[in-house]
Amino acid sequence: MISLSERKFQSALDRAMADLSDALKKCLKDIDIIIYEIAEKSDLLGTNVEKELDLLSLYEIVPISDGYHNERNLRGQLTLFKRALEAICEEESDLVPQLTTILEEELSYRPSL
């Protein structure tokens, strides 16, 4: 388990975002990435996760259907839980690959309408 300052964690996130493909970098323009220390109980609802430290990220989006064609300002939100991510890393160097994997998995998800 590692423990990083907010600044070092943000730096690792910046490096992970830089490692993404161009297509996924485009997706970043449509979401806000927020960092919380730890998930709350309400974040666990519907996830099949029981412990706050087991939830690494939470991606919430509002699918834009034809009915919302003029509402392009509906942004998604990806929440990263810092302490949970630190808990799965043995060394600081493990964090960037973990963040890259989470970003790739979450941004590649496309809900069906």
For 6-62+74-108, which CATH class?
alpha beta
CA 79 to CA 69: how far, in whole Å?
26
pLDDT of residue 112: 45
**pLDDT reading at 75 higher than 90:** no
Mean pLDDT of 19-30: 92
The residues, any chain, with a CB within 8 Å of residue 58's CB and separated by 6 or more, are 39, 43, 47, 78, 79, 81
Residue 35: predicted pLDDT: 98
Band (64; pLDDT cuts 50, 70, 90) = low
Domain boundaries, the chain: 6-62+74-108
Contact 60, 32 (CB under 8 A): no
